[in-house]
């Protein structure tokens, strides 16, 4: 099957790393692994973060023009033509302004993964884009939820004949990778002058305005409330336009590494003791999933679909969103209890391998997409 792939928030080949880009890449690769020919049909970015009515109208016009061009291209005899349209991550700040129009014109099924519907946006600065989201959800043949909190709002407006399935966030887990935690920890100890006998805490997040910066503020406040006699050090991995502001939030015992590659990041996942992230308004968090797959117990804010990844009291602790004191209490409990960390580490590896593997979730996705295509009238 030919599948046209589109991500209105961030293209899978974007130069800027993020969890959203990572999930887009994984979904693209997942569809390919099922034998489909997948093509990125547009890099048009529909994100409008300020709630500016005039800018939203401009983006709508751009979307209409791009849709017309794609319809003409795909309708020309001899050109590659999609049999199904697949959009990843659509919400009121970044709606799909292309896919519904193209799929309707070509009479092909429309699939969207991680669609969010926020009824409170019906009035206000994003009302135009909210309408686009509702039209897209009504148009969809298959909606794939990747955050259990999204289902209730989508259910309010979904068509009776639209299929809804839930897919866990997933990643490619390298089970063959040789773990040499002692060697890697010694390497990082020398690199950052960290004591081997302290508890290493790890946070990973982009340093940008909005929810990410809010998470860093909660983290910095929580550190001042940690109550333990154990020695600990915090490593922060990430970069972005607000790096200087983020660094000012923290006083001491902090190592800032900047942006790292996936291979470099893995050394820290393998070596650190506890993953910390307040997760303000987080969808689910790919860094959290990566940390858990490496056997890191975690403390994370209970927002969005974070609880779909971190199993509370099994692989770590969920804290009240934005509550620095609660976050600090749960971080302190893990710092003080080595045996609990070991139990949660084993659980994290086991649950991630069982529920969040690439193969398992790719097979599910492949079945849903193929069945949607067949039911639509495909061969």
Rounded to an integer, what distance in angstroms lies between the CA atom of residue 236 and that of residue 205?
8
What is the mean predicted confidence (pLDDT) over 78-107? 97
What is the mean predicted confidence (pLDDT) over 67-87? 98
CA distances from 303 to 28, 147, 311 (A): 26, 10, 13
User: Class of the 181-355 domain?
Assistant: alpha beta
Phi, psi for 94 (deg, rounded to 5): -150, 75
What is the mean predicted confidence (pLDDT) over 163-185? 79
| pLDDT single digits (tens) 147-156 | 888 888 998 8
| pLDDT single digits (tens) 10-54 | 999 999 888 899 999 999 999 999 999 999 999 999 999 999 999
Burial 231-259 (b: 16+ CB within 10 A, else e): ebbbbbbbbbebbeebeebbeeebbbbee
What is the mean predicted confidence (pLDDT) over 304-329? 96
**Stronger pLDDT, 262 or 203, i.e. the higher one:** 203
Q: Which residue bears the tokens 């989508």? A: 154
Q: Which of 133-137, 216-220, 302-306 has the lowest mean pLDDT?
A: 302-306
Q: Which CATH superfamily is domain 2-170+357-376 in?
A: Glycogen Phosphorylase B; (3.40.50.2000)
What does the angle CA 257 – CA 313 – CA 213 come to, to the nearest 5 degrees? 35
| Percent of the chain's residues with pLDDT above 70 | 98
What is the mean predicted confidence (pLDDT) over 325-343? 98
User: Would you say 356 and 170 are in contact if contact means Cβ atoms under 8 Å apart?
Assistant: yes
Q: Which of 28-37, 51-60, 131-140, 277-286 has the lowest mean pLDDT?
A: 277-286
> What's the confidence (pLDDT) of residue 262?
87
Report domain extents, the chain.
Answer: 2-170+357-376, 181-355
> What's the confidence (pLDDT) of residue 233?
95
Domains 2-170+357-376 and 181-355 share a fold: yes
> What's the confidence (pLDDT) of residue 180?
63
Instruction: Report pTM.
Output: 0.91
Please give the sequence-ordered ranges of beta strands (E in DSSP) within the chain, or none if there are none.
2-6, 37-40, 84-90, 110-115, 142-145, 163-166, 199-204, 232-237, 254-258, 274-277, 298-301, 316-319
């Amino acid at each position: 099957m030919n599948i046209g792939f589109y991500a209105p928030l961030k293209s899978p080949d974007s130069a800027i790393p993020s969890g959203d880009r990572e999930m887009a890449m994984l979904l693209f690769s997942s569809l390919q692994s099922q034998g489909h020919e997948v093509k990125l049909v547009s890099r048009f970015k529909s994100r409008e973060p300020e709630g500016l009515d005039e800018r939203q109208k401009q983006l709508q016009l751009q979307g209409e023009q791009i849709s017309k061009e794609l319809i003409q291209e795909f309708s020309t005899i001899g050109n590659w033509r999609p049999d199904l349209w697949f959009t990843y991550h659509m919400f009121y700040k970044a709606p799909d302004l292309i896919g519904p129009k193209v799929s309707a014109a070509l009479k092909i099924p429309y699939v969207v993964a991680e669609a969010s519907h926020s009824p409170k946006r019906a009035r206000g600065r994003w009302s135009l884009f909210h309408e686009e989201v509702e039209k897209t959800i009504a148009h969809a043949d298959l909606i794939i939820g990747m955050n259990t909190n999204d289902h209730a709002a989508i259910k309010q407006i979904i068509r009776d004949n639209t299929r809804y399935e839930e897919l866990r966030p997933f990643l490619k887990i390298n089970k063959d990778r040789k773990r040499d935690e002692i060697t890697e920890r010694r390497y990082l100890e020398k690199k950052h002058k960290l004591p081997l006998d302290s508890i290493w805490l790890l946070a990973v997040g982009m340093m940008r305005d909005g929810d990410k910066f809010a998470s860093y503020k909660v983290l910095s406040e929580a550190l001042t409330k940690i109550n333990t006699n154990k020695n600990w050090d915090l490593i922060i991995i990430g970069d972005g336009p607000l790096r200087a502001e983020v660094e000012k939030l923290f006083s001491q015992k902090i190592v800032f590494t900047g942006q790292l590659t996936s291979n470099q990041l893995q050394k820290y996942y393998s070596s650190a003791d506890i993953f910390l992230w307040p997760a303000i308004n987080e969808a689910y968090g790919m860094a959290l999933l990566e940390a858990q797959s490496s056997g890191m117990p975690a403390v994370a804010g209970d927002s969005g679909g974070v609880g779909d990844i971190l199993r509370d009291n099994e692989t770590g602790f969920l804290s009240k969103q934005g509550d620095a004191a609660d976050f600090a209490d749960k971080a302190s409990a893990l710092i003080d209890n080595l045996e609990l960390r070991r139990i949660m580490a084993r659980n994290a590896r086991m649950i991630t391998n069982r529920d969040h593997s690439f193969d398992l979730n790719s097979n599910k996705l492949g079945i849903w997409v193929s069945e949607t295509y067949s039911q639509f009238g495909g061969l």
